[in-house]
Structure 1
Amino acid sequence: MANFKKVLVAEDSSVIQNLTKKVLQFQNYDIDSVKNGEEVLKAIETNEYDIILMDIGMPKMDGMECTRQIRALADKQKANIPIVAITGNAKNYSEEEFNNAGINEYIQKPINFDHLVEVVKKFTS
């Protein structure tokens, strides 16, 4: 189990969260999941992740603000965790806005799970 790459799924939709977990567990990833940006920040305080899949539209703290806060962390290893945005509203953001927030890549909803697995592998290999 120690060799499994650890993924944090930040998604307020239980359906998308559960599907994402199942698909990635099938690919031998170790998955934690949370429902908002505040929970992401708490999770990374006590855990090490290889990648974060970050929904942009979450309650309490959205994915853009959460990403900015992660990038500002004093712990450079945690500040540089690859972050992949997952959003149904990519057209509401420019590539520059994603880059400025510190997002490495984004995936449009509805999620193509084959593409999701490719992107996760790219950042965790």
Structure 2
Amino acid sequence: MSESKKILVGEDSSIIINLTKNVLAFDNFQMKAARNGKQVLELLEKEEFDLILMDISMPVMDGVECTRQIRALADQTKSKLPIIAISGNIHNYTPEEFRRLGFDDFLQKPLNYDKVLATVKKFLS
């Protein structure tokens, strides 16, 4: 049995955190949640993760700024982690703009959990 992959979720909604945790656990993924970008960076400093699901709109530090700071990290492993944006896309970013902002992929809210799992597996298989 291979070791389960660890996913860091930056999301301020308890409902989305709980649903995501249940869906990911079903496929043996471990998950840690952070409520804002500052907490994402703090967790990333202390622990190893395989992928980040990042809400764009969070208090304290949003997902775009947090992703920019992750991409600028000296640690090459952490700076190159797959980061998937989660957004209602109020800014109407195109997929190309999400990539320019440092994201590897994008999931639209409301989340389709089959698509969440498929996207996570695409980057972790």
Give the partner amino acid of 2:107: I
Flag the 1:95–1:22 CA change in 2: closer, same or farther, 3 A. Answer: same
Aligned residue in 2 for 1:18: 18
Aligned to 1:117: 117
Q: Secondary structure at the match of 2:7?
A: strand
Match of 1:30 in 2: 30
Q: Which residue of 2 aligns with 1:77?
A: 77
Supply the AA of the counterpart residue of 2:69.
Q
**2:95–2:106 CA contact under 8 A, matched in 1:** no
Specify the code of the residue in structure 2 equivalent to 1:47. E
1:92 Cα deviation after fit: 2.3
RMSD between aligned alpha carbons? 1.4
- Closer/same/farther in 2, CA of residues 57 and 101 from structure 1, 3 Å limit: same
2:43 is the alignment partner of 1:49: no
Equivalent-residue separation in structure 1 for 2:60 and 2:2 (angstroms) = 32
Which amino acid is the alignment partner of residue 24 of structure 2?
A: L
Cα pair 1:64 1:98 within 8 Å, conserved = no
Secondary structure of 2:116's counterpart equals: helix
Residue of structure 1 equivalent to 2:39: 39
Instruction: Describe the shift of the 1:118–1:35 C-alpha distance in structure 2 as closer, same or farther (beyond 3 A).
Output: same
Q: Deviations over 1:85-107 (max 9, x none)?
A: 00012652233331122100000
User: Partner amino acid for 1:55?
Assistant: D
Residue 108 of structure 1: aligned partner: 108
Relative to the length of structure 2, the TM-score reads 0.95
The one-letter code sitting in structure 1 at the alignment partner of 2:115 is H
Report the TM-score, using the length of structure 1 for normalisation: 0.95
